[in-house]
């Protein structure tokens, strides 16, 4: 009978040890969750910063290209041939004096 | 008897070990589920950040490009207007030279006086000229030539008061109630849109 009681006792100890082990593991869950979340969001934030910097670089490049083309277009206006300007003046006078 | 007892003890411990294993497995599964759910939530949040970032990046590029394009359009428009202003100045200079060319200018003046006379619904007409034109044509037969060409019963006199103009005339009824402005400035004003369109067509059409 004594041996049976001891076996029951040992059996309870096994179960309690397991419950303690799981309880310890559960206690650590919030820390694990926080750490995992922090890591995932940190990576997302880093990606965001990289993407924004890249977008800024691309925007700068495109803006510079547009500015260059605009400068060329504006410069082309000062290169209108003299005879074309004369043609425009003559045509305007023709219309005015008709 | 002893063998039975040993078997019983062994069964007790075996059962408790099995139960412990079950508790452990259930606990670990719950923990793993909690972690998986938390990971999925964080990943979803990260995906949202990524999607918002994409939108923000596109907006950054579009905004910058749009601003630069607007700046470019404005710069081109200003430059084009400068060219148009220069050409219009050349036109004005051309008109001044034209008015000094007596033979061509006199014919035009005559034509415009005739037009003015036709437009003014009065038999007594007065013609106003610039100071220089008054000096040039005051004693000439400008009005007689006009009347001869129009063959009108209307009477016409020169106004002794001059008008300020590069060239042209203001034709009015003698009572000054009806005035027809046939000066170059008036024509320039009336025709400015048409002139700018025509000049633009010649200069900028590609």
Q: Exposure pattern of A57-71 as b/e (b: 16+ CB <10 Å)?
A: eebeebbeebeeebe
The mean pLDDT of A21-48, rounded to a whole number, is 96
B116 pLDDT above the threshold of 90:
yes
> Which of B10, B12, B104 is the best mutation test for A, with the most CBs of A within 10 A?
B12
Q: Which residues of B touch A90 (CB under 8 A)?
A: 94
Domain B102-204, CATH homologous superfamily name and number: ATP synthase, E subunit, C-terminal (3.30.2320.30)
| Contact assignment for B87 to A88 by CB distance below 8 Å | yes
Q: What is residue B139's three-state secondary structure?
A: coil
B98 pLDDT above the threshold of 80:
yes
pLDDT tens-digit profile of B151-198? 788 889 999 899 999 999 999 999 989 999 999 999 999 999 999 999
CA distance A36 to chain B (A): 7
Would an 8 Å CB–CB cutoff place B15 in contact with chain A? yes
B1 pLDDT above the threshold of 70:
no
Question: In sequence order, which residues have a C-beta less than 8 Å from that of residue B23 and are 6 or more positions away?
Answer: A15, A18, A19, A22
Mean pLDDT score of chain A? 95
Is the predicted ipTM greater than 0.85, yes or no? no
- Where in chain A are the domains? 2-96
Alpha helices, DSSP H only, in B101-183?
102-119, 131-137, 142-150
> Which of B16, B59, B82, B187 is the best mutation test for A, with the most CBs of A within 10 A?
B16
Q: What is the pTM of this model?
A: 0.76
> Which of B3, B13, B20 is the best mutation test for A, with the most CBs of A within 10 A?
B20
CA distance B126 to chain A (A): 22
């Amino acid at each position: 009978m004594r041996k049976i009681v001891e076996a029951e006792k040992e059996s309870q100890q096994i179960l309690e040890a397991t419950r303690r082990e799981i309880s310890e593991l559960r206690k650590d869950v919030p820390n694990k969750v926080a750490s995992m979340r922090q890591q995932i969001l940190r990576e997302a934030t880093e990606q965001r910063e990289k993407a924004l910097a890249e977008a800024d670089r691309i925007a700068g490049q495109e803006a510079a290209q547009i500015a260059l083309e605009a400068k060329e277009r504006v410069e082309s206006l000062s290169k209108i041939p003299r005879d074309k300007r004369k043609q425009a003046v003559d045509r305007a006078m023709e219309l005015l004096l008709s | 008897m002893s063998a039975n007892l040993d078997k019983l003890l062994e069964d007790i411990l075996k059962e408790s070990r099995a139960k412990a294993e079950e508790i452990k497995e259930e606990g670990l599964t719950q923990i793993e589920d909690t972690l998986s759910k938390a990971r999925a939530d964080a990943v979803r949040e990260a995906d949202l950040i990524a999607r918002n970032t994409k939108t923000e990046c596109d907006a950054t590029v579009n905004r910058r490009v749009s601003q630069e394009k607007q700046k470019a359009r404005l710069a081109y428009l200003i430059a084009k207007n400068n060219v148009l202003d220069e050409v219009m100045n050349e036109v004005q200079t051309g008109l001044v030279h034209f008015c000094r060319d007596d033979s061509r200018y006199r014919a035009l003046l005559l034509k415009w006086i005739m037009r003015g006379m036709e437009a003014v619904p009065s038999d007594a007409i007065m013609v106003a000229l610039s100071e220089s034109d008054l000096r040039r044509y005051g004693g000439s037969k400008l009005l007689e030539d006009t009347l001869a060409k129009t063959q009108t019963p209307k009477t016409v006199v020169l106004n002794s008061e001059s008008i300020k103009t590069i060239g042209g005339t203001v034709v009015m009824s003698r009572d000054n109630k009806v005035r027809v402005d046939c000066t170059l400035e008036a024509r320039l004003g009336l025709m400015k849109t048409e002139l700018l369109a025509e000049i633009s067509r010649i200069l900028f059409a590609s």
